Every structure is written in C-alpha cells, then in structure tokens.
Amino acid sequence: MRYVSTRGKAPLVGFTDQLLEGLAPDGGLYLPEEFPPLADIGSAADYTDAAVRITLPFVAGDIPADDWGMLLENAYRRFESPEVTPLVDIGNDHFLLELFHGPTLAFKDIAMQVLGDLFEYELKRRATSVTVIGATSGDTGAAAVQALADRQGIELFMLFPDGGISEAQRRQMTTCQAANVHNLAVDGSFDDCQDLVKAMFSDEAFRNRHGLSAVNSINWARVMMQVVYYAVAVARLNRPITFSVPTGNFGNVYAGHVARRMGADIKGLIIASNRNDILTRFHAESVMEIRDVVRTTSPSMDIQVSSNLERFVFEALGHDGSATEAFMTEFRSNQSIADPTVADAYRNAFSAAMVTDAEGSEVIADLAARLNVLIDPHTAIGVGAVGKLKPEGPVVTLATAHPAKFSDAIAAATGDKPAVPDRLQAALNAPETFQSVPRDLETIKSIIAQSRQEF
C-alpha cells in the first residue's frame, strides 16, 4: 500500500515511512491511495483477529503478516475487557461502544497501544531514533505518554493547553517520570498547541535535524486502527448501524467514514459537538467559521480547527491536492470558508448536533438514575445528539472515556463522584513533572533542541 499527501506535492511513500514522518513534507496529511475492501471478520468474536484482517492491507509490503499479528496481539492483551470494545445496551435499540478499557481509560489507547509497539519495532529495524511531538486536548497525551514511556529510540514532547484539560487527564501525563517524556503546558488553547506542532513540522531543517514524528491523528496509523471498532460493532450487532461520535479533531468520526467507504454497513454518522460547534455550524450553514475556543466540561472537544477534516476535504475535492491546499490556506487566513462542493459532500456524509454542558449533564443524570450507568461528559454529548436527531435504531454512541477521568462533572450531574480505578488513582496521588511554556514557537523549539542534545 502506498500513501499520498492531501497537498499533492509529496512523493508517494509506504506505510512505515508515513508512520515515522507523521505529517507529509508538503504540509499535508497522508492517506492511502485507495481504501481496500473490508475483510470478512465474521461475528468479530476475537477483536485482535478482526483488527489484523481489517488493517493488514494498509501495511502490506512494509510489515510481514506474522509480525503485524504479533504487534496487535501484544497491544490488545493490555486491555481489561476480553472484548476490547464491548457493547452495552442502554435501551430503545441504543448501545454504548465502550472504548475506555485500555491503560489510560480512553479511546485513544485503541490506536496508541499499537503505535507504541509499532514505533519501537520499526526504529529497531532501521537502527535509528525519532523525536515524537504531539498536541493534546486531554486523552491523546495520556495515551501517548503511557505507550511511549521508556521506549528505546523515542523522545516524546507533549504540548497541552495549561488549564484546558481535566486534572485526571493532566496527571496521567505529568506523573510519568520516564526520562524520555517531556510534558509542556502551553499558555493557550489546544488549537494553539496543534498549530505549534504543525509549525515545527513545516520547518524542514528543524524537522530533519531532530527526526520529528507525530502521534496525533494527523498520523494515518491512528485513524487506521480506529476503523476497526466500527467494523467490529457492525459485525457483533449484525445490523446496519448509525454511530453517534463525540467529535473534536474529526479523527474518530473520519475513521467511521473510512470504515463505511471500505464496506462496513454504516447507515449514518452523527457528529456530536459541544459548544465549540464549528463542525455542526458547517453542516447547518455551509460556512466553516473559526470562533474563540469555549472551555466546557468535555475538554477533549474544545477545538475549533479540526485537523482531520483536511482528509475529507481532499476526498470531496476529487483528490486534488492543489485545491485542498487552497481550501485550507483560505480557511486559516480568513478564519472562515464557504465551499459548496465540500459542504454538500459533508452534509451527505454526516448529520450533526450540538449539545450544551447543561444538556450533557442532564443526560449523565438520567442514565445514572434510570440504568445505574455512568458516562463521561464527552459520551454524554454523543448520547444527547441522538436524543436531538432521533435516528432509527440501532444506534451506537461511542463511549470515549471512563467517567472517573471527569469526576467533577459526574459529581455535578449525579451528586456523587464515580469510583476511581486503581490505575487512575495511582496517577492522582503521584508527584507531577511538567514545564510551563509561552505560546511561542522558538521557545518550544529551543527546549526540544536542548533535550535532544542530551538524548
């Protein structure tokens, strides 16, 4: 399988090259030249076997099938549920797809546990090292730190918005004492952090000197591994499904779009937004306009600029790299864009709804009272969107994080804090190590350069 950049100016590369590059040299995001047909996974009783079958075409020519199977087996044995992503019936043909049974209690573990092993595997084969940089609105950082801590040949720098994530999310990163992990609290929003990461990738000399790589969902491998749980859910229910997806950076719902393109029987994809509703407004108004980030009780979705949307734009514009680059440039320069071709494709592919903090809190309280089921604030946005749009069942809402990661929001909704799993409690009690930094590219580049010299 070969991979093409959404900007159309970078050479085609294989899977492991795009893995280590993260962002294409021309500033675009990598996509496979074509989406392979979905493998037959039967009833998907064995998640790992299904994952191997679905993703093997994406790594073909770069990683032997036996090695790929071993990597995925190692990754998913770290999950506490034997099903990896179990379905929970909440009535009225509505299910939760629990994606939080990995080491850091969030859906990011599904891909990140694979990436940790995969990076180490490929770096050993090449006898080289990389500097992994990432931006997090909460869960990516914790998952990346857990997956990459103490890995040979990897130095990790994770940028997060100071004060813009929950205490549990922060502590899952900052209590890691591994020498190769560096947490940077940025005076700004997640969008600022993401822009800083992209700016470092755009500096070719800096990128090459320090061997930059990425773990955000700008890295195709992240999206690829998330495709699996959509197909598995369809196979396990054995019916066409509408998925409701709490959405911020667009990677999760885009993975659902890819699963549908590959042949998964998905009849609908709901983009569920909090008050940072640029994606919902784009659906309703055909204009994508950046506004100030609003801090909410679902901080992982406090995003205005969704990186993965570029992959969908590239598809909507007929795989025209120049047109995609022009679209993204105008959007960032003018802070808004109206493109009928992209807007029509977007509306045809997705439905969308915005759910406020108050509405999400009501959802949390209702499920707790009726079913004794606790959900986190992001999942509540997904369930709330289903309540607003009322799609025909079956409906599956992605439960993206364990409620204990957002205990204050749960307590506000229900009156009680959720029980804290032991693996999270350890992080809540341990000392933190992180560096507060200004929203300044040169300062952050200097920190990385200095650490790399010591590395």
Q: Report the Cα 78 to chain-centroid distance in Å.
A: 19
193 close to 161: Cβ distance less than 8 angstroms: yes
Catalytic hit among 108, 198, 388, 417: 108
390 is catalytic: no
Q: Strands of 212-214's sheet, edge to edge?
A: 212-214, 130-135, 154-161, 181-186, 435-437
Distance CA 295, CA 166 (A): 11
Give the span between the Cα atoms of 245 and 226, in whole angstroms: 12
Alpha-carbon distance of 191 to 214, in angstroms, equals 16
* Helix then strand then coil, % of the chain, to nearest 5: 50, 15, 35
Residues 6+ apart with CB under 8 A from 93: 393, 394, 395
CB atoms < 10 A from the CB of 222, how many?
A: 26
The tokens describing 237, both together, are: 């229910």
- 3-class SS of residue 405: helix
Phi, psi of 26, deg, nearest 5: -90, 10
CA separation, residue 192 to residues 8, 20, 139 (Å): 26, 23, 17
Measured CA to CA in angstroms, residue 216 lies from 10, 307, 449 at distances of: 20, 9, 20
Q: How many Å apart are CA 303 and CA 89, to the nearest integer?
A: 30
Which residues are known catalytic residues? 108
